Amino acid sequence: MYRRILGGLATVAAMAATVLVVTGSPANAAGTGTGYLHTSGNKIVDSTGATVRLTGINWFGMETDNKTFHGLWANNPWKSQLDLMANLGYNTIRVPFSDDALKPGAQATSVNTYSNPDLIGLSPLQILDKVVDYAGQKGMRIILDRHRPTSAGQTALWYTSGVPESTWISDWKSLAQHYAGNTTVIGADLHNEPHADGTNPNATGSCWGCGDESRDWRLAAERAGNAILSVQPNWLIFVEGVSCPSGGLSNVWDNDTSNDEDCGWWGGNLTKAGQYPVRLNVANRLVYSPHEYATSVYHQAWFDDPSYPANMPAIWDKYWGYLYKQNIAPIMVGEFGTTLASNIDKIWLQELMKYMGSGVNGMSFTYWSWNPNSGDTGGILKDDWATVDQAKQSIISPYLIPPTGGNPTPPVSPSASPSVSPSASPSVSPSVSPSASPSASPSASPSSPGGKTCTATYKVVNQYPGGFQGEVTVKAGSSAISGWTVKWAFPNGQSISQLWSGTLSASGSNVTVTNLAYNGALGAGASTTFGFNGSWSGTNGVPSPVSCTAS
């Protein structure tokens, strides 16, 4: 299965890949837990043994010609995007990459010089380091996904003539060593969507359990997984399925059904994993990671079943759910997504979320995608890279477990600077140096009806001629709150053109922002942020006071 990735402000065009069983009553971890993660039966647990559920999102781009996250060309800075991810409840980021992005001299392109000046001149790996560091500060986790051998496109096998298996494994070991000791990075999704190629009986694609070392994805996953664990025994190893277990496509024209088989989504068929499990040298590290999609990607026959959607749980059971239900291994659905253009797809997403379960004991997942420029799914963000698609988010939100706190790990060692200056890379904005951002407003003001209090702290995170981006952090006082309202008056005629993670009401210079449904309830001392893009002329003074009223 191929998925189109649409160009945004930058010039980009690429192909992307695109029940609950309770076995006991272990403790449940807040957010993503503490320390490195491992497995216990069908659960992922933290270093204390508490159950952890990864409820994440895919942020792609590093696997394309840009060699870094898409959306860095947008006006919404990268840190604000991460803030929004966390505020929405996504606790994990799956990061697709290609081996091209890891080559010496690799250059990241299409980085906005206004909104992301701190990323200019950095290599793809150095940008990834910054994302890992900031995500860790927010208590989020990172899964690295080797999405394709090169930025040219998907491959049926995990290697090509230009990128042999030895390079694949060497690059994985290098990444594992690079992030050694950093508990934000929790594991390796070994290769994205291995799938069938060639027509049976002359299969040339990835099989499962066929025994041919050049095509058996299960054996390859063992070789790569064990190589990674030899240098980083604390990582989880995420193994996707295939499409057809034989590695070949059925010949529907030969009137011979003996060589036909039941195939699923690329990466989504784990029917043989029970019989032929992946064997790793370090116990409790294996997570199976299928992919699942709706009609906006491809109209599978099961969507036309008269019993739809009642037929879907049995289909999911067959392809991958049985591994979870039989307590064989955890499931982390690595990709699933839709444009929601049809009611069939809306029902599919609702039913899949229910199937994966609610609360910390549900199956883990990373939704595809954060990016709006996935051609046949769209994203959680709309085309401005700031506005949330509430139709999708409202379905997913009840199943999200927000990150809490941070993982106190040392920063990763700096990666080597590219040998070629990236200044030649295209940038979506004129190369005017951004002016220094004013410091955070000290005028946060608590208000306390009914004993509930909150504070609001205003700061400018990015400023350029005529425009700026602001951020307000709302923090609950000594008691939990169920909602908040923030107010201020701009001192110099500034105005807001766009706001996210809150509801805006403005009249002249007076601004009122109230919480959304997902970020109003805050525990004692907990905080959330909302952000906005604005315009200014002459002076961009910080408003004072900035009041917060709790409910």
Active site positions, annotated: 193, 335
Q: Would you say 443 and 458 are in contact if contact means Cβ atoms under 8 Å apart?
A: yes
Place of tokens 């005028």: 443
Tokens of 114: 């206004």
For residues 286-319, b (16+ Cβ closer than 10 Å) or e, as one string?
bbbbbbbbbbbbeeeeebeeeeebeebeebbbeb
Nearest Cα residue to 5 out of 313, 281, 378: 378
- The beta-strand segments (E) located in 1-42 are 3-5, 14-16, 38-40
For residues 196-227, b (16+ Cβ closer than 10 Å) or e, as one string?
bbebbeebbbbbbbbeeeebbbbbbbbebbbb
Residues 543 and 245: their CA atoms lie apart, in Å, by: 62
Residues 44 and 330: their CA atoms lie apart, in Å, by: 7
Task: Return the sign of the alpha-carbon dihedral for residues 501, 505, 511, 514.
Answer: negative
Q: Which residues contact 253 (CB under 8 A, 6 or more apart)?
A: none
Alpha helices in 138-196, H assignment, sequence order: 165-178
In 3-state terms, what secondary structure has residue 507?
strand
Q: Would you say 148 and 155 are in contact if contact means Cβ atoms under 8 Å apart?
A: yes
